[in-house]
Amino acid sequence: MKLPGPDHPISIVHNDKRVRVSFAGKVIADSTRALALQEANYPPVNYIPRADVDMAALTRTDHASHCPYKGDASYFTIAVNGRNAENAVWSYERPFPAMAEIKEHLAFYPNRVDKIEED
């Protein structure tokens, strides 16, 4: 486990905008409670509370990854209207203590959904 610091900063802030994720003509997530995670020089990522996501459209997969700063990520495939987006969603279900805020939140790959809107 590594801690964020000057050499690899990570910040988590409430996103003041409404965040909507659409796939195959359906809104999969709609939230005014998203968290924006900014890690080092990467683009910010919105983490949306599970309560604001249509979990019935998601299926857990066997895919997994590890981040030394956040922990182990699990993945989900989106299935809507006969279309699938494999491993399009990830979640840190037991994040390391420094990233505890993102527990029970999901993030979406922008290139695997139709759109992610913020307004």
The predicted-structure confidence for 68-119, as pLDDT tens digits, reads as follows: 999 999 999 999 999 999 999 999 999 999 999 999 999 999 999 999 999 9
89 neighbors 108 (Cβ within 8 angstroms): yes
Count of the separate structural domains present in the chain: 1
Q: What is the pLDDT of residues 23-36, one digit of tens each?
A: 999 999 999 999 99
**Domain span including residue 81:** 10-118
Q: Residue 83 maps to which CATH number? A: 2.170.150.40
* Dist. CA 61–CA 52, nearest whole Å: 20
Residue 3 domain flag:
no
